[in-house]
Amino acid sequence: MKTKDFQKLRELSVEELQAKEKELKEELFNLRFQQAIGQLANPMRLKECKRDIAKVKTVLTERATAK
């Protein structure tokens, strides 16, 4: 997720952000599972996925504290 994607996150609603976070957590689980059984093709995707989750959580926190 690049800076442009981060701006797009800020345009999403809270429900959409929560859905995105759930989707990313499922992807992270699947990536960890692939790593455990030795089938992970791109190990950098783990790091990217964790960062994407952090970005979504950051936007959600911004929204929560803005109220």
Please state the pTM of the whole predicted model: 0.88
Our CA dihedral for 59, 62, 66, 67, rounded to 10 degrees, sits at: 70
User: pLDDT 10s digit of each residue in the chain, 67 long?
Assistant: 556 777 899 999 999 999 999 999 999 999 999 999 999 999 999 999 999 999 999 999 999 998 7
Q: Note whether 43 and 35 are within 8 A (CB).
A: yes
Domains of the chain are 3-66 (1.10.287.310)
